[in-house]
Amino acid sequence: MGKCQLCGRDAGLFRNRHKECNEKHEAGCKRLVALVRQAAVSPTDYSTFSHQLKEVATSSYINTDLMNNLIITGWEEAVAASLDKDVLSSETEHALMEFRNAFALSQEQLDHHGAYSRVAKAAIIRDILEGKLPQRIQIEGTLPFNLQKGETLIWLFTSVKYYEQRSRTHYVGGSHGFSVRVAKGLYYRVGGFRGDPVATSQAVHIDTGYLGVTNRHLYFAGAAKAFRIRYDKVVSFMPYTDGIGVQRDAMTAKPQAFVTEDGWFTYNLITNLAQRAAA
């Protein structure tokens, strides 16, 4: 006879869970996540709330490890719901952080699926829109570029792929023709030509490195390439789903692109900082 994994009683031949126990377990998991999703963005008496969660867990055969995972899932869902509605408000951000502290959740735990980073990014955009200069990130170690006096690092992207738009020319319609001997050792080639030149443009991966965003510049530092771009030297910014494109104000400037894997944040962060710098 098999034992039920949830209640521990006999489950019958070839069974490891009672149907009733499994239904109660699944319903309890959903209930716990829903409770967290609501509590994480509203004022909460955490002593009472914690007791409520334990009651749900006990009655639904939810062990401690699974309960902790479900709490994190509920927090992630609260973040997703908040950001889908509007720019993250300071009240909602405060509630999310209060919940995090109450349950001693680490940044690593909450950022397993990127939820914690989404909160930080949304808060930075909100700060800039409110005319504030965000100072929310802390860098351990030495930056790969030197900031100017009075310059503040707002965000640092890592493993950023840097592309430049390059033009290449090839020929179409070419022919080798054929040769007619006109004298010993001398030939005249008939119909030999390269064809018409056709210029094409394509993005070429130049380097991979760090992209630093400050209140005045963009900095890129890779293994083979490093440079700085002033916001007032940029003619246009191009939004991409996974990054941003930049066209500088120079006759010989090539279009540049940075793949950060978060186009929405990158574009809104940089364009709003550029507008702030120009004000």
Domains of the chain as residue ranges with CATH: 2-129 (no CATH), 153-168+200-278 (2.30.29.30)
- pLDDT given for residue 5 in this prediction: 83
- pLDDT given for residue 71 in this prediction: 97
pLDDT tens-digit map of 142-168: 899 999 998 999 999 999 999 998 877
pLDDT tens-digit map of 36-81: 999 999 999 999 999 999 999 999 999 999 999 999 999 999 999 9
- pLDDT band for 84, please (50, 70, 90 cuts): confident
Residue 37 burial (CB count, 10 A): 19
Supply the Cα-derived Rg of the chain in whole angstroms.
30
Produce one character per residue of 111-147: b if its CB has 16 or more CB atoms within 10 Å, e if not.
eeeebbebbbbbbbbbbbeeeeebeeeeeeeeeebeb
Residue 232's SS3 state is helix
- pLDDT given for residue 166 in this prediction: 81
Beta strands in 7-152, from DSSP E residues, in sequence order: 10-12
Give the angle subtended at the CA of 234 by the CAs of 233 and 235, to the nearest 5°: 120
Least confident of 170-174, 208-212, 274-278: 170-174
pTM, two decimals, is 0.79
- pLDDT given for residue 236 in this prediction: 95
- pLDDT given for residue 251 in this prediction: 81
Which residues are CB-contacts of 220 (< 8 A; sequence separation ≥ 6)?
A: 160, 162, 207, 209, 210, 211, 212, 226, 227, 228, 229, 258
Angle between helices 19-39 and 64-85 (to 10 degrees): 50
Residue 60's SS3 state is coil
Least confident of 99-113, 128-142, 209-223: 128-142
pLDDT tens-digit map of 7-25: 878 877 767 888 889 999 9
What's the token pair of residue 208? 């991979």
- Residues 238, 259 contacting (CB under 8 angstroms): no
Check pLDDT > 80 for residue 87: no
Check pLDDT > 90 for residue 141: no
Q: In whole angstroms, give the CA distance from residue 32 to residue 29.
A: 5
pLDDT tens-digit map of 257-268: 999 999 999 999
pLDDT tens-digit map of 192-244: 555 566 666 788 999 999 999 999 999 999 999 999 999 999 999 999 999 99
What's the token pair of residue 252? 């010989």
Check pLDDT > 80 for residue 169: no
- pLDDT band for 276, please (50, 70, 90 cuts): very high
What's the token pair of residue 163? 């592309």
162's torsion region: left (phi>0), alpha (psi -120 to 50) or beta?
Answer: beta
Q: What residue type is assigned to position 103 of the chain?
A: F
Q: In whole angstroms, give the CA distance from residue 24 to residue 32.
A: 12
Mean pLDDT, residues 23-40: 96
- pLDDT given for residue 225 in this prediction: 94
Burial bucket for residue 207 (CB in 10 Å: 0-12, 13-18, 19+): middle
